[in-house]
Amino acid sequence: MDKRSGRKVMRKRKPTEVKKKAVRTLDDALKFVLNVKRAKNLKERTLRDYKIHFRYFGDWLTETYGENMLVEHIDLEILREYVVWCSNDKEYYGGHPYRERFETHKRGLSPVSVNVRIRILKAFFMTLYTEGVLPSNPAANLSVMKTDDDTIEPLTKEEIGLLLKIPDQDYFAQFRKGHDVQGA
C-alpha cells in the first residue's frame, strides 16, 4: 500500500474469464450459429436455408459415422467425403414428395447444387471458428467444385419486337381500362 495520501495505486487485476457455452453436438452448433446469424440480422429465408442444408449434412454424417459425432471431430477429410457423396452418390430428388415424377435411377447432384452446400458448410464452420468454439476451421481449405459457364444469348431487337407483337393489344387495352374480360 502506498503511504502517500491522494495517490492512486495500480494493482494487477485478474482477467475475467468468459465462459463460453459448450458446443459439442451438431444440433448445439447449429443453434449457436443460427443465433450468431440472427444477431447479424440475416433474413429468415437465409436462416431457413442454413437449417435445411445443414440438416442434409447432419443426416449424411449420422448415416455414415453414427449418432455420436461431435462438432470438434469433423475435419477436412470428412467434409470432402460429404462433397464426393453429394456429387456422385446422393439419391436424385431423394426425399422429394413428387420424386416419382423425376429420374429415380439418377445419382448425384449438379456441381451448382453441391456448391450451395459447400458454401453453407464454409460459412457454418467459419462462424464456429471466429466465435472461438473451434480452435481451427476444418472447412478453410474446402473448395467449391468447378462448374460449366452458363452462356446465355440475349434476344436481338428483332426478336424482342416479334415477342411484343404477339399479344392481342385490344384485349390488354380492355383489361387495363377495367372492362369485364369475360364479356369481351
Domain assignments of the chain as residue spans, ordered by start: 26-130, 153-184
pLDDT tens string 27-52: 899 999 999 999 999 999 999 999 99
CA–CA separation, 56 and 22 (whole Å): 23
Closest to 78 in 3D by CA, of 153, 149, 156, 138: 138
Residue for cell digits 455414415?
64
Predicted model pTM: 0.66
pLDDT at 99: 55
What is the arithmetic mean of pLDDT over 97-118?
Answer: 76
CA–CA separation, 5 and 18 (whole Å): 35
Q: List C-alpha distances in Å: 75 to 4, 82, 134, 146, 164.
A: 59, 11, 11, 22, 55
- Confidence band for 101, pLDDT divided at 50, 70 and 90: low
